[in-house]
Every structure is written in C-alpha cells, then in structure tokens.
A = this chain, B = another copy of it.
Amino acid sequence: MIGARGAIATCVAYGVAGLARGWVEPTGLVTSIDPLRRLDLAGFDQFVLGGWDVCKRDLSTTVSGLVREGILSQDLVASASAEGTNFESRIRPGILDGPSVGGSDLDPESSRRGALSAREQIAELRADIEAFRDEHKLRRVVVVDLTSTEAFRGGLLEQPELQSLDALERALDSGVSLPASVIYAYASMGAGHPFVEFTPNAGATPKALRELALDLGVPHCGNDGKTGETLFKTALAPMFAARALSVKSWQGYNMLGNGDGAVLADPAHREGKLRNKDEVLTGILGDHHSHVAIDYVPSLGDWKTAWDFIHFEGFLGTKMSMQITWAGCDSALAAPLILDLARLADFSATAGEGGEMAHTACFFKSPIAGGTHDFNEQHRALVEYCLGHLS
C-alpha cells in the first residue's frame, strides 16, 4: 500500500488481522457476499501487508486518532498489536512527488528518493517489492495507491511521452519527470505486479502504462474509489432518468476533515478530485446545472458529510426536490474495497487476464476502461463477470 501510514491503510491492516482471526465481520466487503464469495479468492489469513510512505509518523498516532473517532476499537487494537507492529516494520520510505513539499514529518529518505531520476526510482521500488515478496515467500504482490491526491497537472495525459510505451521508455532514458503515482504504476506493472489506483492520481491511466499492462498481461484498475457521495449519486440518478423526470440542478457539497481534507483545501490538489466528481451524472441525466464543492472542515476528522440537493421537474412543469445527507466514515468505507480489489486483482492475474479490469468499474469514480457511471449497471457487470467465472 502506497500511503501506508494513513487512515485507510491502517484500517486495512487491523481489519485484515481481525478478519483472519474472526474478530471482525466482513461488513462492507463485496467479495464476502454472493456471488463473489463463491470465487476462489485469497483468504485473509494469506494476506501479508507492507507499503511505502513519505512521512515518518508513528502508526500509533494514526491508530489513536482512529480510536478517538470511534472507527477502530481499543479492543481490536490491543488484540492485533502484533500484526500492527509487523505491518509498520514493513513500511519503506516512499517517493516524494515532485510538486509536493510533504508535511512536517517528512521522511528525509523520501526526499532523497523523490530527487532521483525516474529510472532510479523505478529500480528502488522494484527492489523493495522483491525483497518484500522474497522475505515473506509470497505468491503475488498487488500494489495499491492510497496516497493523498497529487497536485493536478493539466495536460499530463496528452503529453507525447505518455502516448505509447516506446515513447515512455525513450523519455525515461532522457530523464523525464513524472508524477510519483505513474512511477509506482510503472515499477509495479513493469515487474508483473497488479496495480490498483484508488486515488484520483494519474497512476496507470496514461496510454503508455495501459499498453505496458496489456503487453505484459498484468491486470490493473482505477481510478478514485467510489465510496460516498459519488456512490449514492450514481445509484440514485438512474431513477430520475428511468421515470423521465427532468433534473434541473444537482448540487453536491462535501465536507471532510482528515489529512485528505487538508490536502484538498489546496486548489491545485482539489482540481483533480473535483473533475472526477462533477461529470459522473451527465451521461445518466443529460444536460443539467451541477456543482460539486469540497470543503475542509477540520472538526470532522475522518468523517465525511455530504449534502446533495436535487431540483427536478415533473409533469406539468411542477418543480420538486430531493435532499440527501450522507455521514460516512471515509476509512471504514474505503478499507474493505481495498481488500476486494486486491483479491480481484490477484484473481485476474491467476486467470491470466491482463489490462484494465473493466468489471471493477463499480468501485471507481472514474473507471479507466470508461463506460457508464450508473452504479446499478456497473454492479451488474461485476456480478456477470463473476457468474462467468463460476459457470
């Protein structure tokens, strides 16, 4: 996990420990219910967790924040303390993204790695992965990006060096500078490890990376986990379309308070996030006025509260409205999906399925393989993929 000292990764670590020992229910795990649970997926007792982070913050700091906010229970933390310690011992310094300055607890080693050439960064990351795999005698490593949103780089996906694998290889030889998420994606997939982009970062989205995945037959998916406001929005909007109700305005106001929120308070970082959230409904509802805001409200901590206002017109031009307030805990919503995606990526790799895992679109705000944003249809595609493998 990239961003291994953050709230989501910490919930994943204690959650896996709890699932493996039966202390935690598999609530929120799509692979725990029918039909997906009938697939031959990795068991939680087979998971070994490790990762990278650019900060040196003790994991216990993240843990105590999660306990204070009522997300991790003191009991689980105490019972799984050995697993927590082991996980922390497997966290390596990450690569600081170019435009980022890091926080006050920046790992100097991450600064050093951030200043290396892309080829050198890739080599160090691969060495980390291989050492991890060898030490724990793992059948497979799946890399998942859980960092904060990187600064938005306009036009990145159109840059010539990202249009083909050849162009990228040449650019790497010439010392091109790339977002850290793209380096991680290249390092992982280039060595045959599946890659999951759970943030809005570029990751494996550039054409060159997608070509790499296809060439090497490595499965990957992303971007940007669909965990809260975008989830219910894309589950609900099809109802208006099905009933020929004309949505005039859909306003979405998001408030969040954790580290992710602090990063998004910076407009450069927020832009990447908002682009994924604002456009999802156009394909479902057609033209309408829409607006999505994300505001940093420190007191909320890891809790995300969103308010959506939907103004729609029915028969005879009658104006009606629907309002939704969602109060969800970001890490508790995201963590089980990380486990689902790691299991599904591993399954695809075993099945020899390379390239974009189109059947995982329901997990993402901006699925790499494109397609509808209608959650119900996306979910059906996942179910059909699963039934295909079961029959």
Interface residues of A (CB under 8 A from B): 11, 14-15, 18, 24-30, 32-33, 67-74, 76, 231-232, 235-236, 238-239, 241-246, 248-249, 251, 253, 255, 289, 291, 293, 295, 297-300, 305, 307, 309, 311, 313-329, 332-333, 335-336, 362, 375-376, 379
Q: Which among B26, B313, B324 is the interface contact of A324 at CB below 8 angstroms?
A: B324
Measured in the bound complex, the distance between the Cα atoms of B245 and A26 in whole Å is 9
18 inter-chain pairs at a CB distance below 8 angstroms, sorted by A residue, are A27-B244, A27-B315, A28-B244, A29-B244, A29-B315, A69-B70, A70-B70, A73-B317, A232-B236, A235-B238, A249-B297, A251-B297, A297-B311, A299-B313, A315-B332, A322-B324, A322-B327, A376-B376
CB contacts (< 8 Å) of A28 on chain B: these are 243-245, 314-315
Residue of B nearest to A231 (CB): B239
Measured in the bound complex, the distance between the Cα atoms of B332 and A347 in whole Å is 48
Rounded to whole Å, the gap between the CB of A45 and the closest CB of chain B is 18
Contact in complex: B327, A25 (CB < 8 Å): no
Rounded to whole Å, the gap between the CB of A73 and the closest CB of chain B is 7
CB contacts (< 8 Å) of A70 on chain B: these are 69-70, 318
Measured in the bound complex, the distance between the Cα atoms of B318 and A18 in whole Å is 14
Interface centre among A232, A241, A299, A335 (most CB of B within 10 A): A299
Residue of B nearest to A326 (CB): B322
Contact in complex: A251, B255 (CB < 8 Å): yes
Measured in the bound complex, the distance between the Cα atoms of B238 and A319 in whole Å is 27
Q: Which among B29, B33, B69, B239 is the interface contact of A232 at CB below 8 angstroms?
A: B239
Identify 14 new A-B residue pairs, CB closer than 8 A, beyond the known A307-B309, A315-B332.
A26-B244, A27-B245, A30-B243, A71-B316, A242-B375, A242-B379, A249-B299, A251-B255, A291-B297, A299-B313, A316-B335, A320-B327, A322-B325, A376-B376
Contact in complex: A235, B244 (CB < 8 Å): no
CB contacts (< 8 Å) of A236 on chain B: these are 232, 235-236, 239
CB contacts (< 8 Å) of A332 on chain B: these are 314-316, 318, 320
- Interface of A (DSSP majority class): mixed
CB contacts (< 8 Å) of A76 on chain B: these are 316
CB contacts (< 8 Å) of A307 on chain B: these are 253, 307, 309, 323
Contact in complex: A300, B291 (CB < 8 Å): no
Residue of B nearest to A25 (CB): B317
Contact in complex: B293, A289 (CB < 8 Å): no
CB contacts (< 8 Å) of A315 on chain B: these are 11, 15, 24, 27-29, 332-333, 335-336
Q: Which among B27, B248, B316, B375 is the interface contact of A73 at CB below 8 angstroms?
A: B316
Contact in complex: A314, B243 (CB < 8 Å): no
Counting from the closest, the 9 A-B pairs by CB-CB distance are A248-B299, A70-B70, A318-B332, A235-B239, A28-B315, A376-B376, A315-B336, A323-B325, A28-B314
Measured in the bound complex, the distance between the Cα atoms of B30 and A362 in whole Å is 26
CB contacts (< 8 Å) of A241 on chain B: these are 33
Measured in the bound complex, the distance between the Cα atoms of B70 and A316 in whole Å is 10
Q: Which among B32, B336, B362 is the interface contact of A314 at CB below 8 angstroms?
A: B336
